[in-house]
Amino acid sequence: MSRLASTFARLRDAHRGGLVTYVTAGDPDADTCTKILTAISAAGADVLEVGVPFSDPLADGPVIQRASERALAAGMTLRGTLDIVRAVRTRIDTPIVLFTYANPVVRMTPEGFARAAADAGVDGVLMLDFPVEESGPWRTPMIEAGLDPIFLVSPTTSDGRIERSAELGRGFLYVISRLGITGARDTLAEGMGGLLERVRRHSDLPLAVGFGISRPEHVAEACGFADAAVVGSALVNVIAEAGGSAPERAGEYVRWLKSAL
């Protein structure tokens, strides 16, 4: 059983929701990022999402865009991201999922990337701009390397595409609760419950819901419908504002979010 499957099974048996946290690799630098990931794991994050910084993001809002800019300016790359994961993996057993756009993976080659990611200790991969219908060239090497391919679904995803994403995916499905770009919101998206009910009719995979979650009450509300809540921009903003105390502040923020669970 993979780390992701084991984690969601444990959450299910405990009758509680999980917390998935997103951090941009190399923000503000590789060493600090390694400490941040270790700290938020110790604070109770159930799954760590590590974003590969990319110069031309399509779905990321301004907070994560600026984090990518800082990381790229500091010299972060896909291989550097895997080095961070390798360093973190020696310290923790929390599942790690890479979030990336297709271009860096295509440049490395899907086969080379899959082998390198598995060797570093990655558990799953979500490629944000690769449609499920065309996922074979990268999904097959992932499966062969023992990685979980993870797919996105949104309010506009058809039932057929949800079924296909569930059929080809492993680990969990990432459900975008609202249309648009990433970013913290004051309230969760209207209709989130109905969306998750529709996805569940077509998938037995655990569901992690994101986009807009930033407070403990958001986490609790999201986990009333989904298996886990995803917090991204709000955590990245905490890191950006914390300066040299980013690992400690990030850990405190995650413990605050987890208090709802």
**CATH number of the domain enclosing 29:** 3.20.20.70
Query: What backbone torsions phi and psi does residue 12 show, to the nearest 5 degrees?
Result: -60, -45
Question: How would residue 188 be classed by pLDDT, with cut points 50, 70 and 90?
Answer: low
- The count of structural domains within the chain is 1
Mean pLDDT of 169-184: 73
Mean pLDDT of 46-70: 91
Residue 140's CB is within 10 A of a number of other CB atoms, namely 14
Identify the residue with better confidence: 199 or 179.
199
Distance, CA of 245 to CA of 3 (rounded, Å) = 30
pTM value is: 0.94
At residue 58, the pLDDT reads 76
At residue 189, the pLDDT reads 56
Spatial CA neighbour of 256 closest among 224, 231, 222, 225? 231
What are residue 173's DSSP bridge partners? 207
Which tokens belong to 84?
A: 């961070």
- Computed over every residue of the chain, the mean pLDDT equals 92
Query: What is the domain extent for residue 252?
Result: 3-258
Check if 252 is active-site. Answer: no
CA geometry: angle 218, 224, 230, nearest 5 deg: 50
Question: How would residue 181 be classed by pLDDT, with cut points 50, 70 and 90?
Answer: very low
Catalytic residue among 60, 83, 221, 227, which? Answer: 60
Identify the residue with better confidence: 60 or 8.
8
Catalytic residue among 27, 49, 123, 148, which? Answer: 49
Check if 204 is active-site. Answer: no
Spatial CA neighbour of 5 closest among 169, 115, 209? 169
